[in-house]
Structure 1
């Protein structure tokens, strides 16, 4: 094995060019009929069709139209969310100005379907809402100066899955407003606003939420009544709704789950919600409708857990493992059914036993922010909810995300434990709804915990080490291998899978520490196994006698750090040294940045000493997780 590092900076030179007046006749755009594909052309790019650009976005952002946002301080609607994501300066709900370092490429406003738009309807004294006795009651409580009591009243009904309004016309009206907003801000080639919502299933306070994302324009999605937990808490019923949508409209839609760490073992359970075991029909439907999983976001990271990966020194990253949303404490047997690494491995076992893999998902990150502001950088973190935005004082750190009402502090999680995460990265050719959605469908996507690092991996059977350095790296990868999210089928006798990886730092962020490949497989006894391999790293470090790579070090000083360690880019070539062609396996790439100050360190530098508890994270390492490549014996 050999590691390689690309160091240095990129310098763009502007050469003086003499311009002469020219007159263009007709349209300068290339028409498809004008190009004979497959013919020999001077320009080598005419026949290219593979994804050649990476786009960053958030697929899980809430606005004031989500009741658990609008009823507790968020006054920014979908228009504000899209404006902010496109790079505009926006005044946050608590009064502080906010702006991104660079615009996002795409956004899904994914407001909760349950009583969608209730807070704006109260604010405007909507006549349809006031015609409902319970709606009028909440309206009068808020207008009378007691919005928290109104929110508690709504929450109690939600916990009982009781829709006290039951007015589809109101739901359509508020949904169509969000649709109209997305249409206004969608600009193909520049910024993509995808339509979506969140189905918020939480049986017994266990998080089974899914974000629903459409490929389609307004002509297909307008006038919908989004599927909600009032309709069902069973994901299989959501899949029925998705299937009916496609059959009725000719459109395309998908869903993706999040926060298995708050599901108490239900997210990747061994049984269906009706108690029956998983079968091939279930596995095929889940893989069909949920091609990706939101592996990291504000409510903790969901890649793996230190009890499940004790030999992985990076496994304890913002671990939330006390329980569900406040009613049941965590037990060790729940953990393998909550985290992505173990779910992917268990999926291999299901595929061998029942003939299909229910947990064959790609990986993305998202914010789940309820502020209308998709902020993920540690130095620009606006929190989980508006009541904990910058400048809100002690509440920003001490407010509960998981309430201690029933089980006390043993289950409580406070906002200082929140993770400033995450983003979805997409490999596509165009920044359009169709191209972005299609990348999700084929799983050519990856997660980051907030950084915009560029990561690419190809798996094949005959890649050579020098090809990692080729300028046509991607063309080579697609021609003789498969990208993240794809299947690698049986190769030549005696061959082992070869991998080419490239990673480039966020231009506004930290250098890279290392590139790793995480492998999962079925052992000789058919039991799921996982292991982490270091593939490329910065500096002149070398693995020790046990194969462990020394830490990269740290330059963090309070809220400052320097890029005097690490590498601007890393390239890795790896051949699986333990490959058994008879064993099913998956492989995904994890990229780690050098240590950087956390959002708490930035807050302390700005506001002064915070007097936080000892477990407060002041230094952290952002990371990326690619979608896997799966291998199956021929």
Structure 2
């Protein structure tokens, strides 16, 4: 649960609304009934089956009513409604009137191809009991506190479940109920609240209700016909945040064969514990497969990629192998910023594009509580640095634990997967601004946050089996919310004229490897790898956004005897194309590219050094969501004293007025150890 959400209210009216929702726009249901076993999935041939693979756009990080931080901010969207939204339905979102009528609506301009509801498994049962009078424990002191003082109860429940900051010096510490927090066990486990009963059995039993509903919704909305229009994944979020330092993982299952209960942080407080128990549970069913996806490494204060095991010892080869096997992907971008690279803001930086959506703090507390529990961002929290550390560890251990592919997602807490456009952004809740009782005055979210991104998967067809295998092999990329189509290949035998050939893709597979894969050994000692990247601009850009591409870059990282290194190369497009934005209207100006392609050869390849290569495709500048809202409100910063307090962020020069949307491909890897 996200510590930063302290403006929380779970008034009884919202609980009542669960039973009095107005109907939403209908949307066609799958043509085959739910409950068809996924074992037939691998044999199905979809109408759009393509051996050279299609791009599918989706969101693998979505919270609904079952996540405490979403629910207590007024989110009452169910997993069923969330999937309807992903498929194109118009959805009412909070706040609501006393009669249950939504005051705002949202709808995607283009449906998604796939999605996964990933509610926080922690507190599933605790909240179910405290909000359902059918349970005997409904009137337990903690539950009465939960209903009477939701803001403080939210903090208390999170302190119990996932490890919020040390609040001993804050007024919150004066709350008497804080003194009843259970002690952490010797094994690091977190005992559940007293009303959960011996071993937490009552809450674990109650957790079955939300988990069953999540599974059922995924089952109902998975299109098992040959149309293959929409794919769901059963998933959840494992939510560990010791002292508010983010270690969260989304867990995605390949099929509907999943554990009867999702393993949560309370019982399994380390990633290694999570992988071990998931392995054990999935061994009971050969069709149960999973992967975990860490997110917001930018807010982990150095912990996410710290190569020490659960006992504090340096990684050995077994732990490194377990991490590489179970965790092939990482979320490079979402609502709470990018985790690509730290860099510095503005011109003159070694890589000035690292300033894109860079949060100014290093853990989930953010600048709440006066910022006492957080600090400046740290370089080791960013994926580019982790990838370089992985190369170093591979030399020591023979295994690279940080061999990640990249995706993006939204982390929406409104139950609205794929709602990632800068235009008319309503906020995402969670750690951001809440719309519990009313639409927030001023900006609809905290100025440092963004609408989030999308995951893109290159797969033969839109089925769970095909998409999951693509996720596993890392033939995926992430975007900052737009929908450019990007392909990349690497190899020693790629032709120099590949961009001019009609068989770009077939030749790429024949003479190279796709994004996410490993390069083979060079055929001769003097050979150097080439990277070929093709990109097409989003054909349906946001209003006030040309959607045109500016350039393609290759980011290389490597490790040698002198340490870790990185370099950025422009390989296509024009960084000085004069593209800009009219800041009085947000109208884009200048030229750009509807399509770009480049073939680049590494000028300094050393076959004795491990390296990675990923592509960054950068669009022309466009107005940021906050700028659009400030202009719409008629805010002028010429006279700061005349700016309403709720719009003060419009004149905060710490945050840019424009953004350059982008995509990041999964790296292509080279290791001297590869055959």
State the TM bucket, normalised to the shorter chain. Answer: 0.7 to 0.9
TM alignment of 1:214-293, pairs within 5 A = 214-217=253-256, 220-221=257-258, 224-250=260-286, 251-293=288-330
Match of 2:151 in 1: 148
TM alignment of 1:12-411, pairs within 5 A = 50-94=51-95, 95-116=103-124, 125-128=132-135, 130=137, 133-134=140-141, 136-138=143-145, 140-141=147-148, 146-158=149-161, 159=163, 161-164=190-193, 165=196, 166=200, 167-188=203-224, 189-217=228-256, 220-221=257-258, 224-250=260-286, 251-306=288-343, 310-326=349-365, 328-330=373-375, 335-374=378-417, 375-385=419-429, 388=434, 392-394=439-441, 396=443
Note the C-alpha offset of 1:134: 4.7
The range that moved more, 48-57 or 461-470, is 48-57
Match of 2:4 in 1: none
Task: Provide structure 1 residue ranges, at least 5 long, that are not aligned to the other structure.
Answer: 1-31, 36-45, 400-414, 539-548
Note the C-alpha offset of 1:566: 0.8
Note the C-alpha offset of 1:227: 1.3
Measured in 1, the distance between the counterparts of 2:261 and 2:141 equals: 20
Match of 1:508 in 2: 540
Measured in 2, the distance between the counterparts of 1:240 and 1:86 equals: 35
Rate the CA distance shift 1:268–1:356 in 2: closer, same or farther, 3 A: same
Tell me the SS of whatever aligns to 2:390. helix
Measured in 2, the distance between the counterparts of 1:513 and 1:129 equals: 61
Note the C-alpha offset of 1:117: 6.5
Preserved CA contact (<8 Å) 2:421 2:482? yes
Q: Is 1:462 matched with 2:493? A: yes
Tell me the SS of whatever aligns to 2:519. strand
Pick one of 503, 521, 529 that aligns with 1:472.
503
TM alignment of 1:525-564, pairs within 5 A = 525=562, 527-538=563-574, 549-550=575-576, 552-558=578-584, 560-562=586-588, 564=590
Tell me the SS of whatever aligns to 1:465. coil
Preserved CA contact (<8 Å) 2:125 2:208? no
Tell me the SS of whatever aligns to 1:249. coil
Tell me the SS of whatever aligns to 2:282. helix
Q: Is 1:607 matched with 2:607? A: no
Match of 1:498 in 2: 530
Tell me the SS of whatever aligns to 1:349. helix
Task: Provide structure 2 residue ranges, at least 5 long, that are not aligned to the other structure.
Answer: 1-41, 96-102, 164-180, 182-189, 366-371, 542-546, 636-646
Preserved CA contact (<8 Å) 1:457 1:501? yes
Rate the CA distance shift 1:140–1:257 in 2: closer, same or farther, 3 A: closer
Note the C-alpha offset of 1:154: 2.2
Measured in 1, the distance between the counterparts of 2:423 and 2:120 equals: 28
Note the C-alpha offset of 1:457: 0.4
Measured in 1, the distance between the counterparts of 2:115 and 2:471 equals: 13
Tell me the SS of whatever aligns to 1:416. coil
Preserved CA contact (<8 Å) 2:129 2:206? no
Measured in 1, the distance between the counterparts of 2:105 and 2:494 equals: 50
Note the C-alpha offset of 1:420: 1.8
Measured in 1, the distance between the counterparts of 2:600 and 2:662 equals: 20
Measured in 1, the distance between the counterparts of 2:540 and 2:566 equals: 33
Note the C-alpha offset of 1:138: 4.7
Tell me the SS of whatever aligns to 2:458. strand
Tell me the SS of whatever aligns to 1:296. strand
Pick one of 591, 599, 606 that aligns with 1:573.
599
Tell me the SS of whatever aligns to 1:59. strand
Match of 1:617 in 2: 656
Pick one of 607, 611, 614 that aligns with 1:585.
611
Measured in 1, the distance between the counterparts of 2:655 and 2:568 equals: 27
Number of equivalences: 554
Measured in 2, the distance between the counterparts of 1:131 and 1:611 equals: 43
TM-score (norm 2): 0.78
Measured in 2, the distance between the counterparts of 1:481 and 1:629 equals: 10
Tell me the SS of whatever aligns to 1:586. strand
Rate the CA distance shift 1:119–1:103 in 2: closer, same or farther, 3 A: farther
Note the C-alpha offset of 1:121: 5.8
Measured in 2, the distance between the counterparts of 1:76 and 1:331 equals: 35
Measured in 2, the distance between the counterparts of 1:344 and 1:352 equals: 13
Q: Deviations over 1:373-396 (max 9, x none)?
A: 121110142212175459723364
Pick one of 453, 465, 469 that aligns with 1:438.
469
Preserved CA contact (<8 Å) 1:303 1:341? yes
